[in-house]
Amino acid sequence: MKALRGAQKFRLPWRRPFSVSGIRREIKDIADLPNRIWPKYQGSHRNDSYAYVVYKLMHQIETRNNELLALQWPSPPRNILLVKKEGVETVTDSLLELAKLGLLAYSKKPTNVPSHVHSSYPSVSLLLEPHVASAIHNALPFPIYTTTSALDSSRSFLHEKVDMTTTLGGDGTILHASSLFATTPNVPPILSFGMGTLGFLGEWKFKEFKRAFREVYMSGAGAGYGSSLLEAEGGKPNAEAGTVAGWSTIRGKSMGPARGARVLLRNRLKVGVFTADGERIGGDDSTASAKGDVYAMNEVIIHRGKDPHLAIVEVFVGGRFLTEAVADGMIISTPTGSTAYSLSSGGSIIHPLVSSLLLTPICPRSLSFRPLVLPSNTPITLRLSKKNRSREVEVSIDGVRRSHGVGVGMEVRVYGEEIRSPDGLWQGGVPCITRGNVGIEANSDDGWVGGLNGLLKFNYPFGEET
């Protein structure tokens, strides 16, 4: 018996109670993923009913800083789109590190994946743009998802499937990620890591990615290990997603409802191009040639392009004729875009929480033509005058040039996007996740002021070293 027990003891380490799945370097269609989860954004309680005010005060889910909103997931996000800056090897390496260490976990741990993966986020799927997916999928030991259909269908799938977007790069990368949703009024939350040249819009540093993802992922979970609603369901598998529902599968306690991720809703422009007869000009479902209105996070620009003559543009504000601009072009920008091309053209800097539009001429002939700041709900129309010497001018939206320009008599109509519905719900805009937590006293530096001083060198004295 002793010999038998000794033999069993010797054989025990070599027994395999479970099988290990092979490494799967696959690219799958985004259509196979479950539909997106729609988060809510909780703001100040000024316009809420009395009962809801009492509820929020009891649960402490309102933001102390009224302008920033609290991200509330009804259930954990599952489909995360990663967008990276092109042509930078270090950014690609960071994306691979992010994917391997911080996001995916499988019940059977591959041998070449760090052990942290096993305890991270078991229900998350990664989405990549097609050219990125084809370039790096061999370096990942799990399947990734991308769009494999035509352009119009692929954008529709992004709108229907993406729960959250993560960017690795600079401000241009954030604009590109926003442009992927330029034809839909509902943009998924964007978590951005500053790895570009300027990084005025991205507050997070890449070394903080574990903390950042946990804050965003757990935002909306109740106190304890998971949502009480989902825990009441016993953590049963979700039939649609094929994964475990709820936050209870994540190690460590949640941050509680008072410590949700903070969100800044950045206003967008709603842009439409019309013929001289008032008919809408459309094409495919893209920024360059959209079927309907296009949303712009930064600006819409009318420019003379390669033509040597100044453009002559009739400007209408609120349906009334304002002026006839003789200039290289015209810029209509959001507060977010006020630090971009408009700033280089002499426009004012506007805080992103100020609901407004900025009308800025580009190199006007008249020195008395100054930039104007208008309410965001003011419609602005730019019409190419019959006096214009060239037959067409260029139109670009967030740096994407439209496939067809604007001819004589044609109009570009611009409106500010509504980010709050009549019933008081926050919607629309570009939800940008900021550093820090709701319910914690904000620092005197709100990020925007620090960006002006640190990045734009606002009013920096001449002759002093930076």
| Least confident among 40-49, 219-228, 448-457 | 219-228
> Is-contact 126 145, C-beta < 8 A?
yes
Give me the pLDDT at residue 345, please: 94
pLDDT tens digits for range 77-123: 989 999 999 888 999 998 888 887 655 443 344 445 443 333 467 67
Taking the mean position of all CA atoms in its chain, how far away is CA 240? 25
Q: Which residue has the higher pLDDT, 13 or 97?
A: 97
| Least confident among 181-185, 227-231, 343-347 | 227-231
Neighbours of 232 (CB within 10 A): 10
> Is-contact 191 166, C-beta < 8 A?
yes
Among 367, 410, 122, 372, which Cα is nearest to 272's? Answer: 410
pLDDT tens digits for range 372-395: 999 999 999 999 999 998 889 999
Looking at the chain, how many residues does it have? 466
Which two structure tokens, joined as six digits, stand for 400? 């994407």
Strand partners, 382: 315, 412
Strand order in the sheet with 320-327: 294-296, 269-274, 411-416, 380-384, 311-317, 320-327
Own/partner contacts of 87-93, CB < 8 Å, gap of 24 or more, are 88/169, 88/195, 90/195, 91/168, 91/169, 91/195, 92/135, 92/136
The Cα–Cα gap between 252 and 244 comes to 16
pLDDT tens digits for range 139-156: 887 888 998 765 555 667
Ramachandran area for residue 107 (φ above 0: left; ψ -120 to 50: alpha; else beta):
alpha
Mean pLDDT of the chain: 77
Give me the pLDDT at residue 138, please: 83
Sign of torsion over alpha carbons 394, 400, 404, 406? negative
Burial status of residue 389 (CB atoms within 10 A of its CB: 0-12, 13-18, 19 or more): exposed
Give mean pLDDT, residues 344-356. 93
Give me the pLDDT at residue 283, please: 59
Question: Which SS3 state, helix, strand or coil, does residue 390 take?
Answer: coil
pLDDT tens digits for range 406-415: 999 999 999 9
The Cα–Cα gap between 260 and 211 comes to 13
Give me the pLDDT at residue 101, please: 64
